[in-house]
Chains A and B, each alone.
Chain A
Amino acid sequence: MSEVSLESVLFAILTMCIVVNIAVTIYGVLFRPSLVKKLIALVVLGDSANVLAILIGFTMTDLRPEPPIIDDFVLKTSTQPSVLFVDPIPQALVLTAIVIGLAVYIVIASLIVIAYKFYGTTDVRKISKLRG
């Protein structure tokens, strides 16, 4: 460890918070009885994973980073813009992940609506008893 600055401590807390969110939502997906609560936890789990991906892309820069968009200001100040930017690859990954995530949540939601119509409940324990 070279030096411990205020920024590095803040960043460590930020990372820790996201990891805690992921753990809490995994618990929600696994152990909560209601299907709707499971879906809500799954939504937040996906979002937290996306934030973690962006976080890792952000930490890889040395200087104070800029968003990866080339405008006139960037073109004037630097001939090699890459040293200024955060990593665009995790951002591109997350961009599509968000919309695909929404599509998947909608399919799950429609299945929950149909399950409720058939069984009259969204509690997984009751549903498994009804089938057995």
Chain B
Amino acid sequence: MDFSTIVLLVGTLAALGSTVACVYLIEERDLLKAAIASGLVSLFYCILFLVLMAPSILLVYVLVSVVLVTVLLVILVVKTERYEATSAERFHKSLIKIALMFVTIIAGSYLALNGGWFGESLPPRSLRKIAETIVDNLISSATLSSNYLAARSPDAVAAVVWDYRGIDTFFESTILYLATMATTFILLREVLSQKEELERVPIASPIAVTVAKLLYLVLIPALAVALTSHPGGGFPGGALITSVIVIFLIASRFGLSTSRLEKRILTLIALVCCGTLALSLISAFPIVLGFFMRSPAFLLQNQPKAVSPVGFISELLGEPIGGSIFFLEASESLLVSAGLTLVLILLLYSSRPKRHMEELKVESLE
């Protein structure tokens, strides 16, 4: 048994573990346990990403799904109900269950048998040409006569995300911006209406707050992750910064004093807008440059093309940074960190169930 077989064995065990955890979290009536089980599933998926050679995904996923989503679900369970009611078994439900089972068996065996290991691979081999063109043109142009496809970035994933498929990613960042703003509009009044009540919550001891403040040291590697892209980039960097701030808030028992809460929220909204604005400006920068150089240029253009000499610098201190990818990643990390911190703070400080029950009692008495 050679090394790659052992690695695959570890991956298979992780997949089996994830299935067990998945069935457990659907069946469990205690929602807190279910939320933690979803974190466990994510942990197993992290092992899978490592086995499947996706370090760029692993960096984002371990922060977003294992830390932030689990924290989000636990907050949600604490803010609402802890136990799920039992559901009655009906005939049409069991019918759909059986149908789902059949579809699973058919689709699963089709995928498993055509996965490229038993002979035919499921996506046709000709599709692989796209990946080969991208990877071969990343840095060097040795295989082609012209270098107009080069992204000058050592990481293929970052190059696809911000150069070859840049407009798509730009609009995905816009979705993040819109989701942040929507959550702010939904929850802001709710949070600010109970400021006086929050001031009565005991804040943790100064020692605990100081120890929690040591967490801010992690911001230095977070910046390093945000500004390099082999692997790394704006998404994992921003998620790391958010994780640090949210863990600090929970560890210091809401160490943010409520009198400054309003100002902090406004600052975070401003930072989110700055991140989105920076993304737009960097996308439009080549066109402005092209206007002054009197040559055609394109939105989100990274390196010089055949018809246009406009391009970003490709190296900084002798390291390949990938031209516009570096600047776009930096603005994306600002957008991601500020946006996610804002919405998680709003969720943390929104109302508690106890207060809700008291209100209901008062209303029914009246």
Contacts and interface: CB of A to CB of B under 8 A. Distances in A.
Interface stretch (B169-177, B206-214, B219-227, B248-256): B169-177
A95 B118 contact: no
A59 B231 contact: no
Contacts of B346: 110
Contacts, number: 341
B85 A98 contact: no
Contact of A86 (B35, B52, B72, B168): B52
B104 A23 contact: yes
Interface size class of A (residues with CB under 8 A): 35 or more
Contacts of B93: 31
Contacts of A50: 45, 57, 61
A70 B97 contact: no
A21 B20 CA distance: 9
B328 to A, nearest CB: 12
Given A32-B84, A43-B69, A87 B176 contact: no
B117 A24 contact: no
A80 interface: yes
Contact of B154 (A43, A47, A71, A85): A71
A77 B187 CA distance: 55
Interface string A52-86: 10111111100011111111000100011111011
B155 A94 contact: no
A17 B65 CA distance: 19
Interface stretch (B5-13, B287-295, B305-313): B5-13
Nearest to B153: A70
Contact of A17 (B15, B80, B187, B344): B15
B260 interface: no
Nearest to B342: A106
Interface in B193-252: 230-231, 235, 239
Contact of A51 (B49, B84, B154, B172): B49
A95 B60 contact: yes
Given A60-B128, A80-B136, A27 B100 contact: yes
A54 B176 contact: no
Nearest to B65: A47
Interface stretch (B105-113, B263-271, B278-286): B105-113
Contacts of A27: 26, 97, 100
A120 to B, nearest CB: 6
Contacts of B104: 19-20, 22-23
A37 B34 contact: yes
A99 B64 contact: yes
B127 to A, nearest CB: 7
B117 A8 contact: yes
